[in-house]
Amino acid sequence: MSRLVPAPDALVGKRFDVAVAKMLGISRAKAADLIESGQARVLDRDISKSGTLMSGETVEFDLVEERVEPEPVADDMAIVYEDDDIVVVDKPVGVAAHASVGWTGPTVLGSLLRRGVHITSYGAAGRQGIVSRLDVGTSGLMLVCKSDLAYVEMRRQFAEHEVRKTYHALVQGCLKEDRATIDAPIGRAKVSDFRFCVTPAGKPAITHWDVMERFGGEATLVSVNLETGRTHQIRVHFSSIGHPLVGDPMYGANPVLSAELGLERQWLHAMKLEFRHPRTHVWTTVESQVPADLAHALDLMRQRWPKR
């Protein structure tokens, strides 16, 4: 796109990068990039980004259109419940809840919109309708709000811990108890922007678990209920008690066991959501099944540790 624009009186005497930023409604850094690449310049005069725009000059813009690749769609993401207020999807591994900086893969929100599912406009831009999330590497049930009423009510239910979220997880080692609660605050780890840890400076986090199946001293299958919903909560809590999730090297999993089970992500799946329907207030339960990669790993564990 090429065009000539007379220098506006209000911008005469300003730095050229400041003037370009004002004229195009972009950041000063972006304006500097355009100047240095020759896409923004003063007609018949060489000028740097710090040069001064003068009266009577003409600014020439020769902007290169940026090609934005469309977000891929998660075609294998099943919708397991839907009405006029909410939609519950069975999120596959490798799908993010919503778009974020640096993520180029499919998202739950983008895939629903591309399928023509109406989503409420309530919520932060790019995250509208989302009241809870799952990690990219975690599969299972995730609820998104279609109506404004649902967004307000479901956000309240999640915030007040009224929604019952059940996960199945395979953790390393043999848990000594059949059931227990981990009550430990979680915050961002100082060593990495991507990791979290148990820290007194963190936010309250409560995880309840029950043993479902034991595999000698090698691993334990547990049912997990979250009272809170912190980022990486299940992964961090079990790692903190010396039992990281199988297939989760970020939090201390044994890579040899992960490879033997064919796992390329943590063994964790959101199995069940229970909540009061935002409009009817009827107690609603939605359930999922363990996906193929996790089921295969579990079968291998049962072969290694057959029941006697």
- List, by residue number, the catalytic residues: 135
CA 161 from chain center: how many Å?
A: 20
CA distance 291 to 140: 8
Cβ-contact 124, 90 below 8 angstroms: no
Q: What is the DSSP string of 181-243?
A: EEE--EEE-TT-SS-EEE-TTSB--EEEEEEEEEETTTEEEEEEEESS--TTHHHHHHHHTT-
Cβ-contact 161, 184 below 8 angstroms: no
Task: Please measure the distance between the N-terminal and C-terminal CA atoms of the chain and give it in whole angstroms.
Answer: 74
Can you tell me whether residue 140 is helix, strand or coil? strand
Name the pairing type of β-strands 268-276 and 164-172. Answer: antiparallel
CA distance 205 to 233: 7
Distances (CA, A) of 126 to 97, 99, 100, 162: 10, 7, 8, 26
CA dihedral for 260, 262, 263, 268, sign (positive or negative): negative
